[in-house]
Structure 1
Amino acid sequence: MAHSTKITLVLGDITEQHVDAIVNAANSSLLGGGGVDGAIHRRGGPEILAECRALRAGHYGGGLPTGHAVATTAGRLPARWVVHTVGPVWSRDEDRSELLASCYHESLRVADELGARTVAFPAISTGAYGWPIGDAARIAVEAVRGAETAVEEVRFVLFDESAYEAFAQQIS
């Protein structure tokens, strides 16, 4: 990681972050869903969905694979871009940590291609995909710290106090 990359934590709503790129914990269809994905599509408006549909009509006809990332406009969000990444569903029987780390690495790679300097991440895979927050926080922070990126600030935007605390333990 470029040693100048600053990691900050925010307790709040990712759709209200004034950053270059907001990362969306998307589902593979790219067509919206629940949680962060639904909130980003609702607040960002139809422009995001239109670009996602265009991606599905082209290179991502079968959907975006887990651990990959792709960018669209941010529509009405206070950002320039949305970087969509598909987190893995947590499994008790199979270690999918590399796929989760890949979401962060690939999102930062896409952000670098866009020229983004500030990026807001949610706690990927911790909602409906069931990843335990403590482990997800560890993987997220290690992935960001280990990434070669020109991004100057990575902001983890956590929806509740327990998620905030889990991430705070990892960056202290």
Structure 2
Amino acid sequence: MSKVEEKLAELGLTLPPVAAPVAAYVPALRSGDLVFTSGQLPVVGGKLPTTGKVGAEVSPEEAKDLAQICALNALAAVKSVVGDLDLVEQVVKVVGFVAAAPDFHAIPGVVNGASELLGTVLGEAGTHARSAVGVAVLPLDAPVEVELVVRVKAA
């Protein structure tokens, strides 16, 4: 078990299986020392635990927890192409999308669910640049979606 997965276990979390794509793409792709994940939804056990807009059907607190699940799914996608999360040198960029009700503006706070998890689990390597974007709708009516770009050690 990698040090990253040991840290997840200390937090009571486990790395899930890689979420199956819902369209024509792969969960992650390596290019040189970078791994790009596709947008990861908060899928648990093959389905979304909830759907809807943040600030309407989904509370900001619940959405923040869902963003954490997205980050876990993204880490699983990274592991699927590099084999060991201890090879992650740096999370370079996080992009979080939040399906927001028209009057909901606390988008960054929701995406903090992903950012805080990455920082806790990866330490300094989890420090990253980030975009947090409010959108009208996400695939499968998911409340949140997160994608990562990570730099990994050479193979």
TM-score range, shorter chain: 0.3 to 0.5
Structure with the largest fraction of strand: 2
TM-score by length of 1: 0.38
